[in-house]
Amino acid sequence: MYDLIIIGSGPAGLSAAVYAMRAMLNVLIIEKEAYSGGQIVNTERVDNYLGMYGTSGFDLANAFRGHANSLGVQFMAGDVNGIEDAGTHKVVCLSDDRKLDTRAVLIATGAKHKMLGAPGEEKFKGMGVSYCATCDGAFYRGKTVVCIGGGNVALEDALYLSNLCDKVYLIHRREELRASMDVQDKVKAKENIIFMPYYEVAEICGSDALTEVVIKNNKTNEEQTLPVSGVFVAVGMEPETDFVRGLVDMDEKGYIIAGENCLTSCDGIFVAGDVRTKEVRQVVTAVSDGACAIHFIETFLNKIL
């Protein structure tokens, strides 16, 4: 019987594990991916984490994992597909039929990239359609690509690609961009980034390889075809919460409802990081959630032990 099972090994999960070990809890992290760190692994440069200015997301993730390793945190590879409430404890169920008993659970599964849902997207996923510019941008050196979205991630992707590619079309369904003004200014200063507002992707085309994108103006219904070699999608995230749907309260987007105390509607189940309802989702807020969660998990365990 574990005191705590943490599902997910991003910044929230790793932070919680460090605090749990310092609290002398018997803790286990279950991670689905072959690496720790969550989304920051795919970030080229992190400038807003205190004391780590200019570090890469990969290096920051490794530092987080190294800290957890140094304290002896247990890790297990696995895909959690459900949590059962056994009354006196919780049972974490894995897709390979393993079941693990624990007194408390911390959900720190983060969020995954949203898909466009356009025809051709599924066909060319990983073969021209990418959701990570820093992962795949080098394959398109000297070529023309499309970047879709209007937030910080989309514009930062466009900037990164503009240093590699001949031309970058930035497509957004509105004229107003959601990215911070400093990022917008950098994009505007790049001559090889062509901003195309009011356009949406109607189809991603090609035979053996992706060769063009059909885009449609949502104000005029005009369509045009762009010859491109790659499509980079950055239209937001959706939480990884399907495995607890019906067990804990969620908002309309699927984020688990909890305040800064990380308490869910189900006694003994806590939530931390990007998967929680919150206004700001950053590495620093995820790390903070992990620390806060352990404080309230300790309080919960003290009541039942």
Residues annotated catalytic, as ranges = 132, 135-136
**Cβ atoms < 10 Å from Cβ of 245:** 11
Residue type at position 114: K
- Give Rg (Cα) of the chain: 21
Say how far apart CA 238 and CA 262 lie, in whole Å.
19
Report the half-sphere exposure of 270 (CA within 13 A, side-chain side): 31
Using DSSP, state whether 160 is helix, strand or coil. Answer: helix
Contacts 24+ apart (CB under 8 A), 180-189: 180/152, 183/152, 183/155, 183/156, 183/159, 184/155, 186/155, 186/159, 187/155, 187/158, 187/159
Of 172, 94, 139, 152, whose CA–CA distance to 130 is shortest? 139
Q: Give the number of other Cβ atoms within 10 Å of residue 98's Cβ.
A: 12
Sign, CA torsion 124/129/132/136: positive
Using CA atoms, how far apart are residues 169 and 146, in angstroms rounded to an integer? 5
CA angle 113, 58, 17 (to 5 degrees): 85
Longest dimension (CA), the chain: 66
